[in-house]
Amino acid sequence: MNDKNNSIHVDVETTYLVQESQPEKSRYLFSYTITIKNQGDNPARLLSRYWKITGGDGHEQEVEGDGVIGLHPHLGPEQSFTYTSAAMLDTPVGMMQGHYLMLGDDGERFDVDIPAFTLAVPQTLH
- CATH topology assigned to domain 4-120: Immunoglobulin-like (2.60.40)
pLDDT at site 58: 94
pLDDT at site 123: 83
Per-residue pLDDT of the chain (126 residues; tens, 9 = 90+): 446 656 999 999 999 999 999 999 999 999 999 999 999 999 999 999 999 999 999 999 999 999 999 999 999 999 999 999 999 999 999 999 999 999 999 999 999 999 999 999 998 765
CA–CA dist 3, 111 (Å, integer): 10
pLDDT at site 3: 61
Q: Are strands 74-75 and 8-16 parallel, antiparallel or unpaired?
A: unpaired
pLDDT at site 1: 41
Rg (CA), the chain: 16
Contacts of 119 (CB under 8 A, 6+ apart): 14, 16, 28, 30, 32, 87, 89, 93, 94, 95, 96
pLDDT at site 2: 47
Q: Provide the CA 17 distance to its chain's centre, in angstroms.
A: 17
Query: In the chain, where are the structural domains located?
Result: 4-120
13 close to 78: Cβ distance less than 8 angstroms: no
pLDDT at site 124: 73
